[in-house]
Amino acid sequence: MSDVKSNTGVTSLASSVGKFVKVSVLSTIFEGFVFTVDPEGSWMVLVRFESGTKNVAGTTLVKLSSITSLEVQHENQHVFGPEITNFSQLLPTTTPAPTQTRTSTEIAELLSKHHLAYERDGNDIFTIFGCVTISPPYQPSSTSGTNPIVLRKIQDLLKQSQ
């Protein structure tokens, strides 16, 4: 798997976020969901869940340069049952009462102003870079995502713009 060893492998590994993988590091094998890939530090975070639950059983931090092979075992559908169709559904979310409600137009303007690529669905839910969502009432607490770095940046942006 020369892709893992090269610097360009970090970008292609980002496509494995949310997938259940088997990673070989020398003679050790790790399995889990790819939670995130850190291109700056060249690390991958794997998350394991307790059988049949959404409770985290453990995490593993893997240095990308030490990976000898990486195999996607299966997509995240059917791992926790048919009701789980997206890895982000496994992440905890809290939605306290908002202090201020924003409109979807205001969020679109904010994201455009900061040159952030986004998609907007029919329910006015914004998806930024394919890994973070902002739902009404568009507060930092109404965000969720699979990439903690991008998630934190979006939450900070929403806090600063209040």
pLDDT in single tens digits along all 162 residues of the chain: 334 444 335 546 777 777 888 899 988 999 888 888 887 778 888 888 777 677 778 888 999 888 888 888 765 444 454 455 455 666 665 555 545 678 999 999 999 999 998 999 888 899 998 899 999 889 898 899 888 989 999 999 999 987
* Pairing status of strand 132-134 against strand 20-25: unpaired
Q: What is the pTM of this model?
A: 0.47
Structure tokens at 118: 């986004």
- The Cα–Cα gap between 29 and 69 comes to 9
pLDDT in the model for residue 75: 58
Structure tokens at 76: 């995240």
- Listed in order, strand segments (DSSP E) in the chain are 20-25, 28-38, 43-49, 56-63, 67-74, 118-120, 126-128, 132-134, 143-145
